[in-house]
Chain A
């Protein structure tokens, strides 16, 4: 049981950081499908940074800078050029996957994976069975609570929600929706960098091509399933991680009765069900999309 909890915490932590990035963007009215790309940029920059500079601090700084830059690029495309956020976000994801592969190949040749000599600091012996988990795992619940406080209990959070739900009202109150969206995407970039760093340097200390393997999209599903509430979405991400951990152990637990691949589809099915249900309950889509276009102000 303890090892299952450790496994779930290990797989949930990167997912929850990236989910928080999606939550803050969603509250600003942006459908963030670039999460997958930001996450892999964070993962690649952390490992490549550690190998090239030998310093964890520099590596994390590089990851943060690249993720924020990529977020600003997305902001420029959707805010200044009025591109469709869904298509542009998918484009950012492609840029992240392609760019990280390209960078890894040009620096290290065509290797399957790059391993770093060390990763994030671990919690240590005093944490008993959780000793091998990284400090970012311990920081994760704090981050979720801080995000909840920031988005639900501060002036900034309410202004951000206003920009997402009724940008015209926000502008009338003297808040600039473009600037708030930029801030939201920037904070999202930092959170996604943390998620990518934890994924790559938290346990395995390697970067492999396409190693995020759809986690960014699962984080987006968690944002939708949790109705963009920080704690709800974090719980959704945790639930998805439990399902994934069970998927890996399905054959041990159920024999061949439940195919593991179909169990892994459960988060996506749950999201479809959640969107359908919230649409029924509220008599409309929970998060009205209009193709994910930003609202005018």
Chain B
């Protein structure tokens, strides 16, 4: 408990640290930082309907972030959530387009299966390269993000392009209304049920199964786990597949829920934010839910700022980035400071 408390306090300290840096940047750029933070809190939570909008942004982030958390927990630095998110969305749209006209009871489950499989496959090849050849998964998943982005641009300007589409943004044909699982506000019982089921299953998997225990051990000490006879190979492939599948599911939810179509280059910072959420949450499922709500609130405020408060939405990108700069910090000085504050010095390892 004590260690958990230290982790939470440390995360909060670094978030405060990041917000101070943001305040300095805002002031330097000629904005009042108090106004800015006030408007962000308004946009995220206080305005009427703000909380619902924050929840709408939080749900896909939560689904992706839970998968990222599992992968990090196993000791695999899969930073390719963005690409897996895109591939899921593309696969689901391809399935829905090719089955167009069939009843929704067939099309929607088939498309979700395709989306989940698309995300999982996009995580599988870096996983195989890592486990078979020791190829660094950080580089392969990062490169995978850029390839997936170009693939998304290709399908939305080529094979899946909506010929009647006007404007600069390329997108696929809109899905039939019967296939949508929510309106454009992006909150519906179906989506909430998906998020809750994902959260419960992942909590059970991590906290109540042998797989979860071995996964957590493997992340801390892979050599010991191998010596004890655990199949690290299977564990690794499973963690890549699950994290990819969940990112693909989040992409599918975006397409079948609020977007209603596949849009070229949509939500370009989704994967990055999901990584931040997993790290802020210290890789726990419950913490991920809280973190997703916080970052979902920021995402909702990013849409609110330019319209209602006349402030640039880049402010939100800066807050996310500043948190990223500090969130993984593990300064022993600060640990000791926290340990002193809660009255019990931290044992040195």
Contact = CB atoms under 8 A, between A and B. Distances in A.
| A, B: real partners | yes
Interface of A: 31, 33, 73-74, 77, 80-84, 86-88, 90-95, 97-99, 101-103, 105-107, 110, 214, 217, 221, 224, 259, 261-262, 264-265, 268-269, 271-272, 275-276, 279-280, 284-285, 287-289, 291-292
B139 A272 contact: yes
A86 B329 contact: no
Contacts of B331: 80-82
B315 A88 contact: no
Nearest to A80: B331
Contact of B29 (A92, A99, A264, A280): A99
A182 B49 CA distance: 47
B312 A95 contact: no
Q: Which of A86, A93, A106, A272: most chain B CB closer than 10 A?
A: A272
B323 interface: yes
A107 B136 contact: no
A81 B326 contact: yes
- Give the secondary structure class of B's interface: helix
A214 B29 CA distance: 24
Interface residues of B, number: 51
- Give the secondary structure class of A's interface: helix
Interface string B92-126: 00000000000000000000000000000000000
Contacts of B198: none
Contacts of A264: 150
B151 interface: yes
A102 B312 contact: yes
Lowest 7 A-B CB distances belong to which pairs? Answer: A94-B321, A91-B324, A81-B329, A98-B317, A91-B325, A98-B318, A84-B328
26 contacts: A73-B325, A77-B329, A80-B331, A82-B329, A86-B138, A87-B324, A94-B318, A95-B318, A95-B321, A97-B314, A97-B321, A98-B315, A98-B318, A99-B314, A102-B318, A105-B312, A224-B139, A259-B154, A259-B158, A261-B157, A265-B147, A268-B146, A272-B140, A284-B134, A289-B136, A289-B139
Given A103-B29, A217-B142, A280-B133, A95 B150 contact: no
Contacts of B334: 81
Given A95-B25, A102-B315, A107-B30, A292 B323 contact: no
B320 interface: yes
Given A97-B317, A265-B147, A272-B135, 4 more contacts: A87-B275, A261-B157, A272-B140, A279-B136
